[in-house]
Structure 1
Amino acid sequence: MDNYSQMLAFMWATEHGSFSAAGRAHGLTPSAVSKLITRLENRLQARLFQRGTRSLTLTEEGSAYLLSAREVINAMAEADSLAEAFPNRVSGSLRIHTMTTFAKHQILPWLPEFLSTYPGLTVDIQVGAQYVDTFDQGLDVAIHSGVLSDSSRVAKKIGESAWITCASPAYLARRGTPSRPQDLLAHDCFNFGFTSAWNNWRFSTPEGVVTVPITPKAAFAQGDLLREIALGGAGIVRLAQFHIGEDIRAGRLVPLLTEFDLPDKEPLYLIYSNRKHLSPRIRVFRDFLENRLRESPWD
């Protein structure tokens, strides 16, 4: 352990530029830091610093040792964070941002079990249709779909979801079932009330990919409102598979024009700050989420 303390003192002195600054930052006297580094130099039989009157400069040997020391310190930090992943050690608040529909249909069903497994953890779920980078304001994790802009954040693909054109059996019994994408122009359709690629109703036809320019009877800010109006028999909507998969399986909604579906599916990403060592809070949530998605795929 004394060897590790010496290495820490060396790293602190390198980061802060002097023994006194390193001591102040970590609750040690300058002489204590100096003694630890002197012992390290004696053990290595090499001088690691050129001592100036106001600052320290790494020697060639010190620069070489710094690379190895940093790897050891990082490995120790990783080991500590892994130990913290046990349920009785994970604590604090986890802030999540995701789409309202994903939170309701893919997180809330297992959230009570997650909180019971990690009783020291609290969760703050914020919702919104579109991804906004607020990691600098304390966000821990985001879950969003579609094409993400380039950034320094880590985006891990956790699944993919098709977009399904659908309506209730009651609506189809009343108005008939469209057989071609162009038939949608004669039906009551509903869309999102904001500018989004989700409002592009695209289909694969013998003439190529076409976008049907529907004129929505009404537009809504949330996908769940579109789902509700479709379940009520008012018309046709286009929603994500992770959102309405249960409705399709139960027969509450009927997929339409499936022979014209594009083969591409929309990716879903788990996004977190670009850090090599994830906090235990983020790690346990990521693992729990991935396990649940494997157990209950929406398709």
Structure 2
Amino acid sequence: MLNKGLIALLPDLATFILVVNKGSFTAAAKELGVTPSALSKLITRLESALEVKLFERTTRSLLITQSGQKIYQQSVIMVNAAQQALDISNAEHSEPVGTITVAAPKAFLSIVLQPIVTPFLQRYPEIELKLKVSDGEIGLLEQDIDIMFRLTDAPYENLISRELGKVNLSLCANPDYLLDKGTPCHPTDLRQHDCIYLGETRTDHIWDFVKGNETHTIPVTGRYAVNHSQMRLNGVKDGLGIGIFPDFVIKEAVRNGEVIQVLKDWTIKGNYHGVIAMQYAPSKYMPTRMRVFIDYAIKHLPI
């Protein structure tokens, strides 16, 4: 049985989760409609009840302690269980209701996912949809995500994964650029070309190629680097060099003849190569709003 002390702690633990997720007392207080000082006193009360220090406070930052991290993880499980209880009730409604937070890489979100957003929200008027750009590693619980889309050859094993298709990396160039500079026939030929890369990390200009038992790691060079797929593609269209993209990014440009794929018989290894995986936490009682989004995405995504 639950004792009175534990029951009294439950609201404070839920508030503690919000502070961690928001990263500051100010942001969490704004969300709750209370003052930061009142929220700070609540956390102090919780620390006293638990007899552990949850945060290291400074004038500039709020850092969760190791003990705080462990309590946070257990508190999230508790809140998720409470959410499931609410979701069971919501499932009784004739129309799905509530908020869904979906994360996806920037290019996938804008090119593939965006076209289904409006018709989905029109179909389900009681659902609120929040989209988040996630070009790096992301955690469902830590960032309050319901569903994530990942382009990877290694989907998270602890999550449910629905494979929606394959994604490959492709090289392409403007036809006029290839007439002027020549078409590369082998990955090593790229050393003689202007290449457009992300420029986010020190290794973005190093491209890996595989064909059968043959592999090549090529450090490319170029005068233009940008970590935005559409801007990078525009640079390719404008003849600034050869670019590397997930195939869905260049599909229309290839069809229109604006760019030509090169080295098509080679596999390019890197981020966003593998499967298109829609992933979410396993749950015995999936909220209706999530179920209808998953079904809608499987049926309507233009993959």
The offset of 1:234, in angstroms, is 0.9
Residues 157 and 267 of structure 1 are in contact (CA less than 8 Å); yes or no, is this contact kept in structure 2?
yes
2-structure distance, mates of 1:132, 1:206:
33
Matched, 1:283 2:291: yes
Please say if residues 98 and 131 of structure 1, whose CA atoms lie closer than 8 Å, have aligned partners that are also in contact: no
What residue is the counterpart of 2:252 in the other structure?
Answer: 246
1:292 paired to 2:303? no
Shift of residue 117 of structure 1?
Answer: 0.3
Matches within 5 A, 1:227-246: 227-246=233-252
The one-letter code matched in structure 2 to 1:158 is L
Q: Tell me the SS of whatever aligns to 1:183.
A: helix
Q: In the alignment, which of 87, 103, 106 is matched to residue 100 of structure 1?
A: 106
Structure number with bigger Rg: 1
- Aligned equivalents of 1:179, 1:144: Cα separation in 2: 31
Give 1:90's match in structure 2, choosing from 85, 96, 108. Answer: 96
Distance 2:203 2:159 in 1: 22
- TM normalised by structure 1 equals 0.65
How far has the Cα of 1:79 moved from its partner?
A: 8.6
- Superposed CA deviations along residues 65-106 of structure 1, whole A, max 9, x for unmatched, are xxxxxxxxxxx999977665xxx6112221111111111111
Query: Would the alpha carbon gap of residues 202 and 166 (structure 1) be closer, same or farther in structure 2, given more than 3 Å must change?
Result: same
State the distance in 1 between where 2:115 and 2:279 align: 21
Q: CA deviation at 1:237?
A: 0.5
The answer to whether the aligner puts 1:269 opposite 2:283 as a matched pair is: no
Q: SS in structure 2 opposite 1:278?
A: coil
CA distance in 2 between counterparts of 1:205 and 1:196 reads 25
- Answer yes or no: is 1:135 the counterpart of 2:130: no
Question: Which 10-residue stretch deviates more, 220-229 or 233-242?
Answer: 220-229
Tell me how far apart the structure 1 counterparts of residues 276 and 166 of structure 2 sit (CA, whole Å).
5
Shift of residue 263, structure 1, vs aligned partner: 10
Match of 2:195? 189
Contact 1:188–1:234, Cα closer than 8 Å, also in 2: yes
2:161 is the alignment partner of 1:155: yes
Shift of 1:271: 1.7
Cα contact 1:96–1:126 (8 A) shared by 2? yes
1:97–1:125 contact (8 Å) kept in structure 2: yes
Provide the TM-score with structure 2 as the length reference. 0.64
Q: Secondary structure at the match of 2:230?
A: helix
CA contact (8 A) 2:170 2:268 kept: no
Amino acid at match of 2:288: P
Deviates more, 1:202-211 or 1:235-244: 202-211
Displacement of 1:228 after TM fit? 1.8
- 1:174 matched to which residue of 2? 180
Alpha carbons of structure 1 residues 112 and 78: separation in structure 2 relative to 1, 3 Å: closer
Structure 1 SS opposite 2:291: helix
CA contact (8 A) 2:224 2:240 kept: no
What secondary structure, in the 3-state scheme, does the structure 2 residue paired with 1:218 have?
coil
Confirm or deny: 8 A CA contact 1:129 1:222 kept in the other structure: no
Q: Which residue of structure 2 lines up, in the alignment, with residue 32 of structure 1?
A: none
Q: Letter of the 2:249 partner, please give it.
A: H
Kept in 2: contact 1:131–1:144 (CA 8 A): no
Query: 1:176 offset after TM fit, Å?
Result: 2.0
Whole-Å separation in 2 of the counterparts to 1:199 and 1:123 = 36
Q: Which amino acid aligns with 1:249?
A: R
Cα offset, 1:121, TM superposition: 1.1
Give the distance between the partners of 2:171 and 2:107, measured in 1 at CA: 17
The whole-number CA distance in structure 2 between the counterparts of 1:207 and 1:151 is 29
Tell me if the contact between 2:164 and 2:298 (Cα under 8 Å) persists in the aligned partners. Answer: yes
Q: Deviation digits for residues 136-170 of structure 1, max 9, x if unmatched?
A: 44211111111447563333322211111101123
The change in CA–CA distance for 1:198 and 1:118 in structure 2 (over 3 A counts) is farther
Q: Helix, strand or coil: the match of 1:219?
A: coil
RMSD: 3.3
Structure 1 position 214 matched with structure 2 position 241 = no
Q: Encode CA deviations 1:3-24: one digit per residue, 9 max, x unaligned.
A: xxxxxxxxxxxxx469xx99xx
Aligned length: 224
What is the CA distance between 1:259 and its match in structure 2? 2.5
1:11 aligned partner: none
What is the deviation of 1:207?
Answer: 6.5
Match for residue 256 of structure 1 among 256, 262, 265 = 262
Separation (CA, whole Å) in 2 of partners of 1:98 and 1:116: 21
